[in-house]
A and B are shown apart, each in its own frame.
Chain A
Amino acid sequence: MSAKVLFYSLYERIWHWIQAVSVVVLLASGFAITFVDGLIPLGFETSVHLHHVVGIVLVVNAALALFYNVTGGVLQRYIPALEEIFPLGFKHAGYYLFGIFKGEAHPFDKTPDKRLLPLQKVTYFIVLNLLLPLMMVTGLLKLGVDVVPGWVALSGGLKVLGPLHRLGAWLFAAFLILHVYMTTTGTTIWSNLAAMITGYEHSKTCDQEDRGA
């Protein structure tokens, strides 16, 4: 038995979808800027303006989320403990490598307080603490090349910022594919996606807790 529990508050869902749309638009417009004659025929000028506006939206959204998580005291959710890498991370990986094909039950159950599974925590830790800041810093410096030329020069100039931003974009695109795919590994293919829309998800642990187990 499991209970339907509110996992994601309204703000968290809004934050997530703004971030998701921003990342997709940034990747698309970034691709159109880099490969002007490529698959995305947005045009250079439109792509640049779009990239700038949406980039700022992403940064503001990320800053608000940081504020929310810090003041809400839930920052710990995103910091993996050593045991979550080993052994729990390995156990988690073992499930995706073998158990999932045998129809085994998921080795971990999520609760609103422990909504991130071990491997998720590690991945998000890298994405949110390394990749996203890298993209934001390099992107903002590139955007501010006229305003803070000294900082841009200090960072090595566009010849350093450009390739870093571009490599980050490729990694972000890879993360996006993986992230979307992983949403299909829930109870049902759509359950994780539905949870991020409605906010509710089934939890065995919560059901047992509700039953006083």
Chain B
Amino acid sequence: MKNLILISVTWLLGGAGGLYAQDTVEADELRVTLKSIRPKLIPGAKSLHPDVVFLTRDGRKVLDDNGALSLEKSCGACHDTQYIEKHNYHAQVGLSEASIEAAGPQEHAQVGDFVMLRGFDPLIYRRLSRSTDEKLDLGKAAWIQLLGPRHVGGGPAFRAQNGKMLEDLKVGAEVSPETHVLEPKTKTPRPWDYQKSGGVELNCLLCHMQNPDNRERIDALEQGRFRWASTATLVRSGIVARTEAGFTWNRKMFDARGAVTNQVLKLSDPPSDNCRLCHAKACRCSDPVVFENSLQNWSAETTGTIFSPEPMRKSGMNLSGKPSLNSAWDVHAERLLGCIDCHHAPNNPAYNQKDAGEDMQDHLRFDARRLGIEAYLRRPDHNLVKGFVTQTVVARAYDGTMRGCRDCHRPEAVHEFLPFKKTHFEKLSCQTCHIPKIFAPARSSTDWTLLDADGQPLVAHRGVSGEINDPLSIIDGYQPVLLWHVDDQDVCRLGPHNLVTSWFWSQGDQESPIRYIDLYNALFEQDGGYHPQVIAGFDANSDGRIGLDELRLDTDEKINLMKKRLETQGVEQPTVRALMHPYTIAHGVLSADMAVKSCDECHRPAARIGKMYDLARYAPAGVMPRLLQGSDCEMAGTVLTDQDGALKYKPDLGIEKLYVHGAVRLGWTDLLGLIVLLATGLGVLLHGGLRGFTTRMRKSRGGGS
């Protein structure tokens, strides 16, 4: 009977379970998800982008008189190109920040304060001269030639500070950075002929065309053919050819309307490779990752980060311990994220979903209202969303508009191994543990107090044993320094940075560096060789040459010699200054298995958090650097020199901001405690010893214990 009941119950339960399971399966099959209704991409399908009629600035077809392509006019047939140019910090590089809140033309005079950049960039050194500068250094046209290769056009490359097009500027008697450039040989300003060169329009093709011809574009800029920069970008596509006279359009590529099909142009959302043209030159293809450290590879040069999906072990670089480096250079790239997936247009309807509490009423969980696709395509806001990084010099108002780590990931849901999750997340940026090491070299210092024989500054890198960019040098990478930084949640967290220290000459009390040409002429003669006085002062081995190891500003004699040389160039009271530029490291995120998980990484005195950090091999002229002001970074530590004169940064493990068990030393507390403990121990020993002694004495006298 008992068995019968048991069998019946089992059958009932089993049957019910089976029915339930069947219902669940059916429910799953019926469930409609965003993923299930997403249209599948059809390979080889025709692009939706219409054919483009190529027009010149005056609205005629380029084929009519072989004119220069105007993308403002051509793309402007459908897109509001003027809006796009204005709402585009890649184009404006600060010009709009001055103009948006401009009270009048005088505000535009401050443009140089924002353009990349009047503030001293140790990697570039030169900056656009201000109209108030005593001497002209870099006029607008020279600025375009120098920095235009990393500028998308438009903004200050197309318009003057007063809003007029460069082409329409009239050269006055007064020397102005807008209209004049410096003649290097004579050191005298000369007017620039914008009528001939034109201005540089915003180059839509550079970002939106697959495989644009950046080399030709740069050549056009460097040759001063600004008007033709957009046209030059098309050379590789065969739509236009470069000739001795200039450029000639290939009529075969146009239809009867003077239009080019998108099958030829291949316009699309910006591919990441296009971003790499200016930001990082590492390959994102199936080839092994190969890179160089140079100003053309900006990301690697400043931070050593490589945004590539390739495993590091497959790299073509001479990486230390390469076979064991299984992680991709960047795990987000490995997961197929492209640049614009994170750095999208702020009004892109696919992305600008508001979350609760984010400019949305509290009772709403989701705001269904979206900008229509037509309205978006007409006026896509090109002020791409961005995070909080210290090196940002433009569009600070857009800092933090990008979704940060915590907006996509839920760290609390994982990290099972980590005790005190909240505290760790509150004090540390995600990158601190997920970018524990940078596997490529990065710039560590730039010494502009002296120049090498090529007129270049003395540059040092960290993370490489041997000469930089030498295939035989072993790349061992480096551990980023941890600095306090306001991050994407407006919280001050400890995060990874690369500190780039720089030294330069300034005049008197001025904070900015002296003109490059004055520095160059102080060191070199007209024929390009070092000045005899310089050779006499720096040629330590008397071989008549100045080797790189002899270029050290480390004695009073050398410092005084340089001061005298600079004074001959009109520099008054030459003074050496030093700065540390922090570069926030946000890319180069490693796979989870390479992230920091061991407590010992931080919870010990000599660990990462309190480790001495190399800054430079010495401090030129003995000048100690200070952290760049206004960088949103805080350095809780001291800069010092070791016994060999090398410059170091020593983090201060004070307990004010961070109490790290195992790493902090509490001087007075521990000393007081130790004294109490030792005094107790000593007292016990004395008392016990005396007790034993007196007991024996009494015993020897025949007394009891």
B666 near A163 with CB under 8 A, answer yes
Q: Which of B661, B676, B690, B691 has the most CB of A within 10 A?
A: B661
Q: Is B106 interfacial (CB-CB < 8 Å)?
A: no
* A43-69 CB contacts (< 8 Å) to partner B: 43-45, 48
> 19 A–B contact pairs at CB < 8 A?
A34-B661, A35-B662, A37-B605, A48-B419, A48-B661, A101-B691, A102-B694, A103-B703, A146-B423, A158-B655, A158-B659, A159-B655, A159-B659, A166-B670, A170-B672, A170-B677, A171-B673, A175-B680, A177-B684
Q: Is the interface of A mostly helix, strand, loop or mixed?
A: helix
Q: Is A174 interfacial (CB-CB < 8 Å)?
A: yes
* A148-187 CB contacts (< 8 Å) to partner B: 149, 157-159, 162-163, 166-167, 169-171, 173-175, 177-178, 181, 184-185
Q: Is B132 interfacial (CB-CB < 8 Å)?
A: no
In the bound complex, CA of A158 to CA of B662 (Å): 13
A34 near B662 with CB under 8 A, answer yes
B655 near A103 with CB under 8 A, answer no
B673 near A101 with CB under 8 A, answer no
Q: Give the interface segment out of B26-34, B142-150, B230-238, B596-604.
A: B596-604
Residues of the A chain whose Cβ atoms lie less than 8 Å from the Cβ of B674: 170
A167-B672, A170-B674 provided; 13 other pairs, C-beta below 8 A? A33-B603, A33-B662, A36-B662, A37-B605, A100-B691, A101-B694, A145-B420, A163-B655, A163-B666, A169-B673, A174-B679, A175-B680, A177-B684
B422 near A149 with CB under 8 A, answer yes
A166 near B695 with CB under 8 A, answer no
In the bound complex, CA of A202 to CA of B418 (Å): 53
Chain A 13-42: CB-based contact to B (< 8 A → 1; otherwise 0): 000000000000000000001111100000
A174 near B676 with CB under 8 A, answer yes
Residues of the A chain whose Cβ atoms lie less than 8 Å from the Cβ of B683: 178
A103 near B420 with CB under 8 A, answer no
B599 near A45 with CB under 8 A, answer yes
Residues of the B chain whose Cβ atoms lie less than 8 Å from the Cβ of A102: 694
In the bound complex, CA of A162 to CA of B698 (Å): 49
**B704 touches which of A33, A37, A103 (Cβ 8 Å):** A103
In the bound complex, CA of A185 to CA of B687 (Å): 11
Q: Is B407 interfacial (CB-CB < 8 Å)?
A: no
Q: Is the interface of B mostly helix, strand, loop or mixed?
A: helix
**A44 touches which of B604, B664, B687, B691 (Cβ 8 Å):** B604
Count residues of chain A with CB under 8 A from any CB of chain B: 35
Closest residue on chain B to residue A143 by CB atoms: B420
Residues of the B chain whose Cβ atoms lie less than 8 Å from the Cβ of A43: 600
A171 near B599 with CB under 8 A, answer no
B659 near A146 with CB under 8 A, answer no
Q: Which residues of B contact A (CB under 8 A)?
A: 419-423, 598-600, 603-605, 655-656, 659, 661-662, 664, 666, 669-670, 672-674, 676-677, 679-681, 683-684, 687-688, 690-691, 694-695, 698, 703-705
Q: B603 → chain A, closest Cβ, in Å?
A: 5
In the bound complex, CA of A158 to CA of B654 (Å): 12
Residues of the B chain whose Cβ atoms lie less than 8 Å from the Cβ of A177: 677, 680-681, 684
Closest residue on chain A to residue B673 by CB atoms: A170
Q: A52 → chain B, closest Cβ, in Å?
A: 8
Residues of the A chain whose Cβ atoms lie less than 8 Å from the Cβ of B423: 145-146
In the bound complex, CA of A35 to CA of B656 (Å): 20
Q: B135 → chain A, closest Cβ, in Å?
A: 52
In the bound complex, CA of A184 to CA of B705 (Å): 13
Residues of the B chain whose Cβ atoms lie less than 8 Å from the Cβ of A145: 420, 422-423
5 nearest interchain CB pairs? A170-B673, A158-B659, A174-B680, A146-B422, A36-B604
Residues of the A chain whose Cβ atoms lie less than 8 Å from the Cβ of B691: 100-101, 185
B666 near A181 with CB under 8 A, answer no
Residues of the B chain whose Cβ atoms lie less than 8 Å from the Cβ of A36: 600, 603-605, 662
In the bound complex, CA of A40 to CA of B683 (Å): 25
In the bound complex, CA of A162 to CA of B664 (Å): 10
Residues of the A chain whose Cβ atoms lie less than 8 Å from the Cβ of B703: 103
Residues of the B chain whose Cβ atoms lie less than 8 Å from the Cβ of A96: 687
B666 near A166 with CB under 8 A, answer yes
Residues of the B chain whose Cβ atoms lie less than 8 Å from the Cβ of A37: 604-605
**If the complex has contacts A36-B662, A167-B669, A184-B688, are A48 and B677 also in contact, measured as CB distance less than 8 A?**
no
In the bound complex, CA of A43 to CA of B605 (Å): 14
In the bound complex, CA of A111 to CA of B687 (Å): 26
Residues of the B chain whose Cβ atoms lie less than 8 Å from the Cβ of A101: 690-691, 694
Residues of the A chain whose Cβ atoms lie less than 8 Å from the Cβ of B661: 33-34, 44, 48, 162
Q: B669 → chain A, closest Cβ, in Å?
A: 5
In the bound complex, CA of A37 to CA of B681 (Å): 23
Q: Which of A37, A44, A158, A175 has the most CB of B within 10 A?
A: A44
B687 near A181 with CB under 8 A, answer yes
Residues of the A chain whose Cβ atoms lie less than 8 Å from the Cβ of B684: 177-178, 181
Closest residue on chain B to residue A174 by CB atoms: B680
Residues of the A chain whose Cβ atoms lie less than 8 Å from the Cβ of B659: 157-159, 162
Q: B91 → chain A, closest Cβ, in Å?
A: 45
Q: Which of A33, A103, A157 has the most CB of B within 10 A?
A: A103
Closest residue on chain B to residue A184 by CB atoms: B688
A174 near B662 with CB under 8 A, answer no
A48 near B599 with CB under 8 A, answer yes
Closest residue on chain A to residue B674 by CB atoms: A170
In the bound complex, CA of A159 to CA of B656 (Å): 6
Chain A 120-135: CB-based contact to B (< 8 A → 1; otherwise 0): 0000000000000000
A173 near B604 with CB under 8 A, answer no
Q: B686 → chain A, closest Cβ, in Å?
A: 11
Closest residue on chain B to residue A188 by CB atoms: B705
A166 near B669 with CB under 8 A, answer yes
Residues of the B chain whose Cβ atoms lie less than 8 Å from the Cβ of A166: 666, 669-670, 673
B672 near A146 with CB under 8 A, answer no
Q: B605 → chain A, closest Cβ, in Å?
A: 8
Q: B670 → chain A, closest Cβ, in Å?
A: 7
In the bound complex, CA of A1 to CA of B655 (Å): 60
In the bound complex, CA of A98 to CA of B95 (Å): 88
B688 near A181 with CB under 8 A, answer yes
A103 near B705 with CB under 8 A, answer yes
B677 near A173 with CB under 8 A, answer yes
Residues of the B chain whose Cβ atoms lie less than 8 Å from the Cβ of A163: 655, 666, 669
Chain A 179-213: CB-based contact to B (< 8 A → 1; otherwise 0): 00100110000000000000000000000000000
Residues of the B chain whose Cβ atoms lie less than 8 Å from the Cβ of A157: 659
Residues of the B chain whose Cβ atoms lie less than 8 Å from the Cβ of A44: 599-600, 603-604, 661-662
Residues of the A chain whose Cβ atoms lie less than 8 Å from the Cβ of B681: 174, 177
Residues of the B chain whose Cβ atoms lie less than 8 Å from the Cβ of A167: 669, 672-673
In the bound complex, CA of A36 to CA of B607 (Å): 11
Closest residue on chain B to residue A52 by CB atoms: B419
Closest residue on chain A to residue B663 by CB atoms: A36
Closest residue on chain B to residue A180 by CB atoms: B684
In the bound complex, CA of A34 to CA of B673 (Å): 13
Residues of the B chain whose Cβ atoms lie less than 8 Å from the Cβ of A158: 655, 659
Closest residue on chain B to residue A159 by CB atoms: B655
In the bound complex, CA of A21 to CA of B105 (Å): 79
Closest residue on chain A to residue B424 by CB atoms: A146
Q: B449 → chain A, closest Cβ, in Å?
A: 41
In the bound complex, CA of A185 to CA of B691 (Å): 9
